[in-house]
Every structure is written in structure tokens, then in C-alpha cells.
Structure 1
Amino acid sequence: MKKKQNLKIGIVMDSIKFIKIEKDSSFAILLEAQARQHELYYIEINDLYLRKGQSYATAKIIEVQKKEKNYFNIIKKKDMSLNELDVILMRKDPPFNTEFIYATYILERAEEKGLLVINKPKSLRDCNEKIFISWFSKFTADTLVTRQLLKIYDFWKEKKDIIVKPLDEMGGKNIFRIKKNDPNFSVIIETLTQYENKYCMVQTYLPEVKNGDKRILIINGKPIPWCLARIPKCGETRANLAAGGIGKVQKLSNEDWEIANYLGPVLKKKGLILVGLDIIGNKLTEINVTSPTCICEIESKKNISITGDLINYIEKKIYKKRLSNDSNSF
């Protein structure tokens, strides 16, 4: 039997110099890939470029290790076609801005020439992490996406307790809870919409958040059976870990399974291979497709390998492609 060859795995992410390795999901993926003897290519968004319709990057071949002050080492730097890689993981954090979109165009050119890109560039553009929940409204709380101050005002007066957030941020940044008779309503809305020049999302406040904002991970359409419930610290509305939330690993509830199993096939069809659903109570609040996190927190508490599931998928996909190419060469 022919020996399986090692893969060249690229990853587009923010600067590796500033990550926290104990909880960084991208770093956990790199560790798992390296443990299987695959070669790692680290790329920042600034490293991507196009020339004559071909996608390139100024990539760094790296090695990683779980040592706090010496966790990565650059072996070599090289300019290369992205199609020299077997797969590239697009893990650039939001903001989801025009620069991010431009990067997906570069990745898409390589994808068209055979590169496996996770997640699919077109779907990264199509499936905004906030707005995409509107395609599954039977699972969501009442949600409004608008730039109009009056529409938001009417929604607030009807619901009396709302959450307002931008469409292009992460980690709880610029998320506001506005309660009944809040004197700061106007300034918050004017700031978020930039005086009706920018869309924002408005949702009914869900008091179940006190029990946790659950992050449910899905790989290739299949939900991971354990989630991370992020519980807000005292006096805080936001449950995000970046905003001080406390993480608690727990089994998926029946409602969680219903939502995750319904979305799984849709996400898989769109080439969204690694996705994080956010669920409060039994309501879907976000679908994270850019760089979903919480892998480390779940793996540290349960005897499962989420990163292993992802690399298994990549290996199976690439080895099948190689076998097909070898068969066609005869």
C-alpha cells in the first residue's frame, strides 16, 4: 500500500506573536497538524497577493510547541504560489471589512485551481456571522437589521429590553444592552449606526444568558457533542470570554441538537467546514464562520479531539484527491 504523504497546510491568521496559546484555536489546530508530521505555512493577510491572476503569499514555514515564551519558530520564509499548498485555513479574525473580502478573492483564485480552502471563500462573503441567522428565523429571537433610528426606537419601545451590536465585530466589542427608559438610547444608536450610515443588528434581550451563551462547534456538518457555555461575570451583559465571561463545558441539550442538526447539512453544502454556533437558551444568536474559537476550552475538559476531527477531514479530502489524480494518470 502506498504510504500517505505529508501535507502542506497553510493558515491565514492574525499575528502569531500576540496569541494566547492556552486558548487559541488556530494554535491548537497547528499543534495537531504538526503532530501528524504535516508542514505548516503561516500567512498573515498582508502576505497574500495576486499576480497575473495567480494567488501567492509571502509565507513562513514554522514549527510550534506548547511553551509559553517560545511557542513558535520560523524555519524559512518564501514567496510561493498558494497552489503549492494542499489546504489553507482562513482564520483571520474580524473585523469583517473590505480588506477581508479582498483576501477571500485571492483565496478563491487558488481554490478555482484546486486548492482546498477552509472555510470556502464565497461562503465567508455570503454568510455574515450576524445576518446569516436570519435564514433560520424559526430558531432565533425577534431580530431587526437596519440603519434607521426610528425602526430601532420602535423595536426598543415594543420589547423594552434589547441588545444592539455591529455586524462586523467579534468578542463582544461594541455590544450594548438597552433597557426600558435608558437615557443613553439615542447616543448608543447614533454611534452604532453612525447617524444612519451603518447597519446594525437589534435583538430581544434573552435573560437565559445568565446560564451561558453556548458555543457549539460543527465540523463538516457534524456537531461536537460538548459545548462551552460562556457565563457573564457579575454586572456584565456580554458573555464572551474576551469580555470576562467564564466558560463551562456541558453537553448539548435537546434544543441545541435540534438547531445544530438542522444547520449542519446547510453549512456543509456551503463549504463551511468549521463553524461555531452561538445559542442562548433555545435561540440561535450568531453563526461564526471566520475563526470560531473555544476548541481549547472544550478539549481541556473532555476526552475528545476537535482539532483531530478537523485534520481527519482534511487528510481524507486530500488523500482521496491524490488517489483520484494517480488513477487518472494511468
Structure 2
Amino acid sequence: MKVLIIADPLASFKIYKDTTFVIIRELAKRGINLFHCLSSKLSIQNHQVVACSTPFRFINENTNSWFQLSEQLLFPLYDFDAVIMRTDPPFDLQYLYSTQLLTLAEKQGAKVFNSGQAMRDYNEKLAILNFSEFTIDTIVTTESSEVEKFLEEYQDIIVKPLDGMGGMEIYRLTKNGYNNQSILESLMRYNTRTIMAQRYIPEITKGDKRLLIIDGKPIDYALARIPKSGETRANLAAGGKGIVMPLTSRELEIASTLAPRLKKNGILLAGLDIIGNYLTEVNVTSPTGFQEIMQQKDYDVAKLFVDAIFANL
């Protein structure tokens, strides 16, 4: 079997925490022929979506020299048994074009996880608006005056761009904050950039939760990400600490409601972000959290995910 991993350069992986790394390791355990390419290496030739891909071997999981590359080869995507899209955001124009090529490849017979259409439809910030019963008070706008009215109403809010990741450009604004105007000007680029504003959820001081959904089912554990002292962002990339714990009844309610709908829409793997009782993001591009759960619990998330891929071929 041949599997193509579309991801950032292998040499850039932080193997002690990278989710794509343990997915690759699980595929290697099963003797799968592995190929890698950047999303920018997708193209169309002779009316076929092709990848300029590099065969590689998984050789040692304990060093940064964990892979060995071979010569690049050109294959139609339908030649692979599975294509796993794991390129990190931001979801910029290049990312958009990649998903469009993946959708065309699917029409030509390729099996792509997650589907190109799903990654386009489920902006990781906007997707929560499909599940309003689980969301906090929210607006989406390019007008700073609307954000100011929202702040006047709720006194304490969070603002963030629609295309960020890892806690980048997420700010807390309070009614009497000194830098509100300059933050909004910078974030909204003088009313030319769409952002999301949400009522502040005080429970963030206890952390947010990452819930993983695989093949239409929530897994048994959530990754609680506890923010640093004085920080409102719980993201691990922003210095948060990860603690694995069972799902609460509310978290299970949210995950169980979303799971079948996500699967129906071509999303094999999703990461839900929850603060308190509220859904704050639906991550579908390259959800993380596998390693933290696998390291703290005897629960092999990578195996579950690879099993799900093979079950859907």
C-alpha cells in the first residue's frame, strides 16, 4: 500500500509532540510505503492532479534523523491508497487552492482525509456557528465600531482572526482597556480584515479542552490545556500545559452531537475546542493532541486514526 502525507517539511517536525509524526510512525509499523509532499507540490498535468512526492522511510523515532528520503517521483493522487492532508494553517490562498486540487483529485478516484471540500467548508473559527446551541455570544465583522458596541454590551471580550492558529493574534479586550483601539486597528487592519469577537468565558483560567473525533466518534479522553499565569490563551503553542482527563457529560454531549455530522461531511478527524460549557473552535486542517493523550494514558490515538483510514478506503 502507498500513502501520501501532505504536510510541512519532515525536518520541521517537533517529534516529541507532533501528531503527524505518530501517524507516520503507525503507518510505518504496518509496512506502508510512505510518501511526502508539500501542498505547493500539487499540480495538474494531462488533466490529472499529481504530486511531486518524495518516498521516505521511517528509521529511528528517537532522534531528529528519524526519516530517510529518496528521489522525488511524480504520481497522480489516485495512485495512492490514501492521501492524508496535514498541512498546518494559516488557511491562506495557497491552502485554498490545495483543497480545490484535492477535491478534483477525489473526483478522479483519490481517497483524501480530510476531504478538500470539508476543509473549505469548515473554517476553524466560523464552523462553530453551525452549532449555535453550544456557542457563546459571538459576532463576525470587519467593522471596528461593531466590535466596540459588542464590548460595550459585554464589557469583557475575546477578539481573533479567522485564519490563525496556536493562539496567534488572540486578544482580550475589557471595557476600560487602554489599548483597545490600537489592538483593533492592528488586528482588523483598519476595517479590511474580518475577525470574530466572543464574550469572554471566565472558565478559560482553568484551561480549554481539546476533544478529538475520529470517524464519527469522540475518543474517550480530552486534553485540557491550562494557560500560563496571567495568560488568556491556553494553546500549547502559547505556553499552556496539557493534562489528559475523561470527558465531562457536557463535553460528551457536544462531541456526540457534532461527530456524525462531521463524518457525513467528509471529516474523518476533527479537534473540538471547548471552554467551560461552550464550543469555541472546530479544527479540521491538522488537529493535534495525539501525543499528549498517548503519553499520559494507555490509549493509542494514532492506531485508532490509521484504523479509521483503512476502514474508509
TM superposition score category, shorter chain reference: over 0.9
Q: Deviations over 1:249-308 (max 9, x none)?
A: 000000000000000011000010100000001100000000000110001111111111
Q: Which letter maps to 2:140?
A: V
Equivalent residue for 2:67, pick from 69, 72, 77: 72
Give distance in 2, aligned partners of 1:205 and 1:165: 12
Give distance in 2, aligned partners of 1:133 and 1:259: 11
Q: Deviations over 1:8-54 (max 9, x none)?
A: 11111111111100110011100001101111111111211112321
Give distance in 2, aligned partners of 1:199 and 1:70: 41
Equivalent residue for 1:57, pick from 36, 47, 51: 51
Shift of residue 238, structure 1, vs aligned partner: 0.5
Structure 2 contact 11–64 (Cα < 8 Å) conserved = no
Aligned positions, number:
312
**Identity of paired residues, percent?**
43
Name 1:39's counterpart in structure 2. Answer: 33
Name 2:192's counterpart in structure 1. Answer: 197
Give distance in 2, aligned partners of 1:69 and 1:261: 38
Name 1:223's counterpart in structure 2. Answer: 218
Q: Which letter maps to 1:12?
A: I
Structure 1 contact 53–109 (Cα < 8 Å) conserved = no
Name 2:20's counterpart in structure 1. Answer: 26
Give distance in 2, aligned partners of 1:69 and 1:170: 24
Shift of residue 309, structure 1, vs aligned partner: 1.1
Name 2:9's counterpart in structure 1. Answer: 15
Name 2:156's counterpart in structure 1. Answer: 161
Q: Deviations over 1:61-118 (max 9, x none)?
A: 1112312231111133211111110111111111101110101111112111111100
Q: TM-score, length-normalised on structure 1?
A: 0.93
| 1:151 aligns to 2:146 (yes or no) | yes
CA RMSD of aligned residues (A): 0.9
Structure 2 contact 15–64 (Cα < 8 Å) conserved = no
SS at match of 1:262: helix
1:176-325 matches, cutoff 5 A: 176-318=171-313
Unaligned stretches of 5+ in structure 2? none
Give distance in 2, aligned partners of 1:135 and 1:107: 24
SS at match of 1:308: helix
| 1:122 aligns to 2:121 (yes or no) | no
Equivalent residue for 1:110, pick from 99, 102, 105: 105
